[in-house]
């Protein structure tokens, strides 16, 4: 089973990807993990990627696709895999499809974890991080015993810049501009499935498994 996870930043697609990987005994593959593994191993592809990253540049689509295709040919992917964070654009999706076709493979499902922007802004805006130990909390879903104080070390809790509503909304706008075409792309291929990501984590997972079992 070859799955792509789609969903806005903060929609919880990474959590669902990990749970699905455990459920089906297949690897959860994120582009960040692939970059780190190749750079650490000093592979040719990793060295190329590092030259871009060291300059603060985006790694070109073609190279990212090469890294992903190299990863999915490894032994642990024989039964399938879950791609998280790739593809992000239509050119990446097309390059991936062409490369998989050459291997006699195709994507079976593109799972879109659908959460309205307002929910994500509220979810992210409620997160708090400890300035000392890095512990993370949420004012609504995982509050501390004493407001503004870390349970673990007593450090001060802050709202990180990344989690401020205006920052989150900017990231969502970029996501929608890039990814809405992907949703249309996988819908046209008959591979898109959508789940309501506003539900409890376990309920979202159960819904995905039910769809994949049909």
Tokens 């060291």 identify what position?
54
Tokens 């993370």 identify what position?
136
| pLDDT, average across residues 197-210 | 96
89 DSSP assignment: S
Domain boundaries, the chain: 2-116+173-213
pLDDT tens track for 125-142:
999 999 999 899 999 889
Burial of 178 (0-12, 13-18, 19+ CB in 10 A): middle
Please give the mean pLDDT across all residues of the chain. Answer: 93
CATH architecture of structural domain 2-116+173-213: 3-Layer(aba) Sandwich (3.40)
- 3-state percent helix, strand, coil for the chain, nearest multiple of 5: 50, 15, 30
Q: What is the pTM of this model?
A: 0.85
Q: Is the pLDDT of residue 196 over 90?
A: yes
Q: Which pLDDT score is estimated for 59?
A: 86
Beta strands in the chain, from DSSP E residues, in sequence order: 2-7, 28-30, 81-84, 109-114, 127-130, 136-138, 157-158, 192-196
The rounded percent of the chain whose pLDDT value lies above 70 is 100
How sure is the predictor about 43, in pLDDT bands with cuts at 50, 70 and 90?
Answer: very high
Rounded to the nearest 10 degrees, what angle do helices 165-188 and 117-125 cross at? Answer: 140
Q: Is the pLDDT of residue 58 over 90?
A: no
Nearest-angstrom CA–CA distance, 43 and 131: 36
Nearest-angstrom CA–CA distance, 49 and 59: 6
- Give the residue numbers marked as catalytic: 13, 88, 127, 160, 171
- Residue 191: name the closest of 63, 69, 105 by CA: 105
Q: Which pLDDT score is estimated for 31?
A: 85
- Residue 84: name the closest of 57, 111, 105, 118 by CA: 111
């Amino acid at each position: 089973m070859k799955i792509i996870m789609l969903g806005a930043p903060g929609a919880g697609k990474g959590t669902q990807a990990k749970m699905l990987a455990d459920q089906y005994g297949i690897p959860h593959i994120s582009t960040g993990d692939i970059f780190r593994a190749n750079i650490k191993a000093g592979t040719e592809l990793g060295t190329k990627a590092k030259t871009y990253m060291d300059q603060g540049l985006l790694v070109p689509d073609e190279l990212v696709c090469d890294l992903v295709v190299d990863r999915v040919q490894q032994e642990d992917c024989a039964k399938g895999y879950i791609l998280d964070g790739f593809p992000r654009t239509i050119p990446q999706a097309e390059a991936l499809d062409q490369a998989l076709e050459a291997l006699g493979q195709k994507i079976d499902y593109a799972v879109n974890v659908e959460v309205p922007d307002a929910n994500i802004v509220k979810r992210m805006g409620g997160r708090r991080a400890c300035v000392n130990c890095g512990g993370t909390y949420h004012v609504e879903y995982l509050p501390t015993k004493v407001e503004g104080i870390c349970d673990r070390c007593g450090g001060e809790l802050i709202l990180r810049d990344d989690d401020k509503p205006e920052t989150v909304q900017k990231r969502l706008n970029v996501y929608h501009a890039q990814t809405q075409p992907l949703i249309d792309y996988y819908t046209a291929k008959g591979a898109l499935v959508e789940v309501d990501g506003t539900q409890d984590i376990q309920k979202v997972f159960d819904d995905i498994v039910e769809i994949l079992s049909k």
